[in-house]
Structure formats: structure tokens, C-alpha cells
Amino acid sequence: MAAALATQLPIEQVPVVMGKLQMGYELFSLLAEPDIHPNFDFLALWPLVLETSPSIRDDAWACGQTMVEFWVGKTSIETLQERYQTYLNKT
């Protein structure tokens, strides 16, 4: 993961991306349906955690809402970006 972060992200985005991944793992631990998501899928979340918004607060809220939907089975991998944008536009 460190190699991917080092080669794909500007240094100033690393703390935000790491925070989103940590939030995602914590949400996974709390909410994931084992039948739907037996393992934490880092690659599924990668495009979502790379999304950024000018407001870190709005970005974290939209990302968290999207991850909750994903882990409880209401959103598929294919619609993560769309759901994130929907939540971001609500702020």
C-alpha cells in the first residue's frame, strides 16, 4: 500500500487518503455483511479514496456515507463514484 501511495499521490494528499482508508476499515469492521463482503476490499475503495473535494469535512462525510452504503450492501462497486458525488452535492 505504501508503494501505491508513494507512486500515485501527491504528498499533500497522503494524509487524506490514509484517513479515508482508516475510516473505511473501521466501517468495514462495524458494518460489513459477511455474506456480501467477507474481506476488506482495498482495490474496490481505491478510486473512492482518491476523490477529493475542496472541503475536507464535506469529502469525509460523503466518503463515509458511501462506504456505509457499500458495506451494508446497498451500493455496488460500480456505483461508488456516483453515490459519492450524490452525497457530496448534498452538502
pLDDT digits (tens, 9 = 90+) for 19-36: 888 988 998 988 888 888
- Domain interval for residue 58: 13-90
> Does any domain span residue 1?
no
Indicate whether 86 belongs to any domain.
yes
- Report the SS3 class of residue 7: helix
Is 7 inside a domain boundary?
no
* The one-letter amino acid at 48: L
For 44-84, the DSSP string reads: HHHHHHH---S-HHHHHHHHHHHHHHHHTTSS-GGGHHHHH
Query: What is the domain count for the chain?
Result: 1
pLDDT, position 2: 64
Q: How far apart are the first and last CA of the chain?
A: 30
Task: Using DSSP, state whether 88 is helix, strand or coil.
Answer: helix
pTM confidence score: 0.80
Residue 78: pLDDT over 80: yes
Instruction: Establish if 6 belongs to a structural domain.
Output: no
